[in-house]
Structure 1
């Protein structure tokens, strides 16, 4: 007989299961169907997934009922089968478990971070209906997961506590900002939920291990309250029509002990995880000895006013224009040319951004490039900041344009605005899917591919609108394209690059490269191309940063040597080693390319000030030689 769940996590770490939805997707079940209906149509398939996780060592199964509520099922005409689908979910899990694991009734957020027209009264009714069905089959716990708002979580928890005294696990989907979408700090949110009857507090989905670990570390744990973590297998990459997750089982297992050290007593996986990830977690925790919960720190009491504050300090104003200077594509033919990326802020305080831009201008950068809500995380408009950089600092802005956020109308309007502001250098990118950003309820537009947006921007240079109608004058855009060389088959990536050039790309900017041999390989593979390539270099900020980039961020791979050198380093020591490694990469890059593209980690612009000066100092002998010839 299994011990009571509360007793079990008091004395050790429980390993949960992994993903259901993405695992079924990998089995060939398409997006757009109700996976919960499979409880009735193909129960043997759901049972097989549960058994795979049991065989991997999972001690807790989640029922296949995440979206089995009235509102979500009504999208498929299944709203009359809420009870039947949920009860079947429990029976399937219990049969697969055969007494070897706890079974938690999975209940997902209904609003899901979206501004859907569902009232609080309707939420109360829908949650009670679903949880009653799960409880009628005697689940061991209720697991409330992937909630973005504290308000909705409190409604669900309230219904659970009205119906039962079984353990209730409350999990938010948040990123490194560490706040719910309705503005509460995680500490405040957890404190309120604990006072309202939650047994376990935690996180799942949305972020990979590093993102969740970052939020957990702010709690000052381990706490005297059990925490749960079910991360994704890193960030998803969309490749050839499929979502690919990069975090390996080995990396996932390594992270599990770090989670346990931070107070996690329930560890499993969410999107992209597989039985292999769970097996690695089980192995990593096999000998782990958890300290008694009572020795942990108590959660601080919620603040009286838990609101999201905004700072408008540092707003810059003034006017001046930058004189006409040669295009990036002209400069790079003559000398080493440096472009530095500095991310716009996530809040309204632009002080540090402008400070960094000014320091980089002083160091001698040729352009400052600003991403367009990279990783689908909401940031200040790069158009507005680009104008300030140009007007106040006399520094050329190079602006990213993502296909994700604007339809054809919005994109042409956006480009016309850039033309009016005199911003003429842009980089066309596809953009990461909105569902993986900080507003998962937002829509990804994708009216155009990266090939099409390049062609249509160049069409404006001919004085022709996207609609085909003539404009009264011609634009003067210099359009760049992105290139990811961190792939298994470099020649295929180059073939895709050739299509972007055929669409009208004037220059290329690569993803960060950390392998000197790859830099040489890129030079050889692109020698036939007649447009400039800017090699991407992003200095590493710490050992944790290195592992996060290698394991969780699509398109970035670090060599074993780089990971070894960064291992365990943090703070100033980590940044110093990151700059040293970047200089070694620059030594190779500058032999083969005139274009250098530096990316700034975590607004540590001082690192790229140093690297910019290194490039310019190192290129002086070449410039002197050119002046004599």
Structure 2
């Protein structure tokens, strides 16, 4: 059993780094074929596992050099029934794959963790449908749909689950309810459009409040991912109390809209230095944001620039 389970160090202070845009980096920079954007398929072969290890180690090295914590996020964003069926995996395959994803992260933690760099294992939960298009599930249906994956992960060394690229409050509520029943700490990460709202038109603050109201505030905290800072800074500027529940950001490298990214055949890596400055601005204005990672189009260059901009010099390892 993980020493961090139910005792998440990122809630107690300090900065935590995470990885970048796993799927976009593997596809566009490493030339890896990922059916339906499913990075979990790499867990099926020794070569694939080795590639994933190398991927994580780029980011672990950045965190180690800067004396900050690290969130190891599993390659399971697509490891749910509907997406797996498109690839040819059934329920038993998914259980094995989800367990294997955590085992890989345990190996990395054993090799890299130090007192100065606590490493937390977070299992990624993805949306049932397309993260850029609104889903239609009610909360109870979402809970039932995601429960098996969460229950499987609860039987591993997973410290927490993080639901990424959530674009409806109902699916987020269902995941939070399933995690609560499984006794698993949960984080909800919403994505927004260029206007700072969910694709449904719901304001980001209303989505956070809806999940908290429906679940008794069970999520450990909230994040924002798969959107550029220029898309969501306006939503945070309101200065309302719900903003204190947002503890992390995994932004896109590109300022393009979701539709533009979806229709593009090339990778827009944006400007890593500019992204780092924008993260520093977010940290200055919202000091409670302590989890910093990347999403589509980001790689180790962006995370290094984010650390350069955000990590005070005196905290770095010589």
Q: Within the alignment, does 1:37 sit opposite 2:62 as a pair?
A: no
Three-state SS of the structure 2 residue aligned to 1:36 is: helix
**Contact residue 269 and residue 298 of structure 2 kept, 8 A:** no
Q: Does 1:52 align with 2:58?
A: yes
Alignment of 1:75-94 (within 5 A): 75-80=86-91, 81-94=93-106
Residues 252 and 30 from structure 1, CA distance in 2 versus in 1: closer, same or farther, beyond 3 angstroms?
Answer: same
Equivalent pairs counted in the alignment come to 285
The DSSP-based 3-state class of the residue aligned with 1:243 is: coil
Distance across 1 between alignment mates of 2:273 and 2:133: 34
Contact 1:15 1:60 in 2 (8 A): yes
Partner secondary structure for residue 102 of structure 1: strand
Q: Tell me how large the CA RMSD over aligned residues is.
A: 2.7
Alignment of 1:531-610 (within 5 A): none
Q: Which runs of 5+ in 2 are unaligned?
A: 64-68, 114-118
Find 2:247's aligned residue among 227, 230, 234: 227
What displacement does 1:158 show?
A: 0.8
User: What is the alpha-carbon distance in structure 2 between the residues aligned to residue 222 and residue 174 of structure 1?
Assistant: 16
Residue 209 of structure 1, CA deviation? 2.2
Deviation at 1:36, TM superposition (A): 1.2
Shift of 1:104: 0.7
The SS at the match of 2:219 is coil
Give the secondary structure class of the aligned counterpart of 1:103. strand
1-side partners of 2:84 and 2:4: how far apart?
33
Pair 1:8-2:10 in alignment: yes
Give the deviation of 1:135 after TM superposition.
Answer: 2.0
Q: Secondary structure, in 3 states, of the residue corresponding to 1:268?
A: strand
Other-structure match for 1:356 = none
Q: Structure 1 123/2 Cα, relative in aligned 2: closer, same or farther at 3 Å?
A: closer
What SS class does the counterpart of residue 109 from structure 1 fall into?
coil
Report the CA distance between 1:40 and its aligned residue. Answer: 1.5
Deviation at 1:115, TM superposition (A): 6.2
State the SS of the aligned residue for 2:266: strand
Would the alpha carbon gap of residues 211 and 61 (structure 1) be closer, same or farther in structure 2, given more than 3 Å must change?
A: same
CA distance in 2, matches of 1:191, 1:115: 19
- Hey, what's the Cα distance between the residues in 2 that align with 1:176 and 1:158? 29
Q: Which has the higher helix share?
A: 2
The answer to whether 1:274 aligns with 2:294 is no
Q: Deviations over 1:174-227 (max 9, x none)?
A: 02433333443222221232342112112100x212212222223447954342
Q: Secondary structure at the match of 1:283?
A: helix
SS in 2 for 1:244: coil
**Post-superposition offset of 1:51:** 1.2
Contact 1:145 1:204 in 2 (8 A): yes
- Could you state the TM-score of these two structures normalised by the residue count of structure 2? 0.80
How far did residue 130 of structure 1 move? Answer: 0.9
Question: Match of 2:157?
Answer: 138
Instruction: Map 1:234-249 onto structure 2 (within 5 A).
Output: 234-235=254-255, 242-249=265-272
> Following TM superposition, by how much is the alpha carbon of 1:256 offset from its aligned partner in structure 2, in angstroms?
1.7
Separation of aligned partners in 2, 1:219 and 1:13: 22
Relative to structure 1, the CA distance from residue 6 to residue 102 in structure 2 (aligned partners, 3 Å threshold; closer, same or farther) is closer
Conserved 8 A contact 1:204-1:230: yes
CA positional deviation for 1:165 = 4.3
